Amino acid sequence: MHFGMFIMRRAVCSGSFDPVTKGHIDIFERSSRMFDEVIVSVFYNPGKEKSMFSMKQRVEMLKLATKHIPNVRVTCFSGLLNEFCIKEKAPFIVRGLRAFSDFEYEFQRALLIKKIDPDLETVFIMTNAQYSYISSSGVRELLAFGGEIDELVPPGVTGKIREYLKLKQKKTNGKR
């Protein structure tokens, strides 16, 4: 067993969180009641090079959005999830599910992780039905067309998003 004797029940909840949504917060809040510590980690995904927000900005937004959850720690990483879990002494992985299509993808991923490291357990948490339609990609699409996102992202994050987008726009306009 890679984790040996552990005192705290620690879980990792990783994702791109580009940007964090109310659905993500729902999963963090509920998993925080199951574990002593939940490590919410922005994962650098080379398959998603076109992120709207930098890792630093996403970590900032997550810290703002989770400040009311005392046993959540926000960080970032790149590399293999199982290695990150070993480093953090976290034998549990939390994955949020919105729909059956999420389950198919996450189930295959969980089986692969189990093959790589049999000591890791994946815990699936179904999202609250009121958030089942919210996705980061949907929020990004609304943002691209000037849509309203207040009901989709945690309080305080909307201002950060608009601030980051203004900075991005200034940089883009300055390059012309």
Q: Which residues are catalytic?
A: 24, 48, 98, 136
Nearest one of 132, 139, 131 to 160, comparing CA atoms: 139
CA distances for 17 relative to 89, 91, 117, angstroms = 22, 22, 25
What is d(CA 155, CA 158) in angstroms, rounded to the nearest whole number? Answer: 7
Give 160's contacts (C-beta < 8 A, 6+ positions apart).
57, 60, 61, 64
CB 95 within 8 A of CB 111: no
